[in-house]
Structure 1
């Protein structure tokens, strides 16, 4: 949210930034936990709000992507255009999520990592 005002920040925008920096300074050694799993299934979850910004009525879309049950990428971004419906806002978020899954699958393929297919997971 803070990054939306980088072009013209005010004092009301610096307060949340300082709060985040204080948190990070007070929590060294914390990190993300990755667990080893029997599969490397790639999953993504997407969502969007419709016209959530009261300033310009643009929607915000986001996604998070898991590989083998571990969170590896996430993003939240204001959409470039004003969506005319909630379905359009959701579709735009879904399109970004699909692009991310395709990129990760291609990366894993380039690294010669075997990705589990959904059918093999259903049998387990």
Structure 2
């Protein structure tokens, strides 16, 4: 990954990730480790939270196309090292949270996709 070309966006435009029998499977444990670290990172990098939630849907049986999407996220992170949220210690301690869901977004099984925003 050190010599890779950085990406401008965390996922390719119009990328459709799904399950297919004609795809090549990849190492499940490596995929799960990478996606787990991206989930942790997405708490301070909201620009990758949606795409990380998409690739996390394939933790049980990842294929090459899913790993390519994870590598694209890593290439995007390489291109944007200074982005992110910084939490400072203040006297104001309020938390606001909002959530929403979408029943149409998943082309695989039409399960809902939900999102959330937390303001500290």
TM-score category of the 2 structures, normalised to the smaller one: 0.3 to 0.5
- Higher relative CO (Cα under 8 Å, sequence separation at least 6) belongs to 2
Which protein has the larger Cα radius of gyration, Structure 1 or Structure 2? 1
TM-score, reference length from structure 1: 0.43
